[in-house]
């Protein structure tokens, strides 16, 4: 199944995305990383989840414009 998870840097959404991926679903995650909650926590979740899924890939930082 293909699933779109919005707000994927949030706690609940990132956990949901990982569970869906473990279930072998195709997941697309979108998040605008706003400052409503702590941005460093959101970025840490994204980096951790990337590392858990692809341990040989180092995530690159998002360019600042």
pLDDT by residue (tens digit) across 17-33?
889 988 988 888 888 88
First to last CA, the chain: 35
Residues β-bridged to residue 3: 27
Residue 22 pLDDT: 86
Residue 53 pLDDT: 64
What are the residue ranges in the chain where pLDDT is below 70?
49, 51-63, 65
Residue 1 pLDDT: 92
The model carries a pTM of: 0.67
Q: Contact, 36 vs 7, CB < 8 A? A: no
Question: Nearest to residue 38, comparing CAs of 64, 9, 58?
Answer: 9
Q: Please state, in angstroms and as integers, the Cα–Cα distance from residue 46 to each residue in 1, 53, 55, following that order.
A: 22, 11, 13
């Amino acid at each position: 199944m293909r699933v779109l998870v919005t707000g994927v840097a949030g706690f609940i959404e990132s956990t949901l995305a990982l569970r869906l991926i473990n279930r072998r679903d195709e997941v697309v995650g979108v998040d605008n990383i706003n400052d409503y909650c702590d941005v460093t926590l959101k970025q840490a979740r994204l980096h951790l989840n990337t590392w858990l899924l692809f341990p040989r890939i180092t995530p690159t930082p998002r360019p600042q414009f």
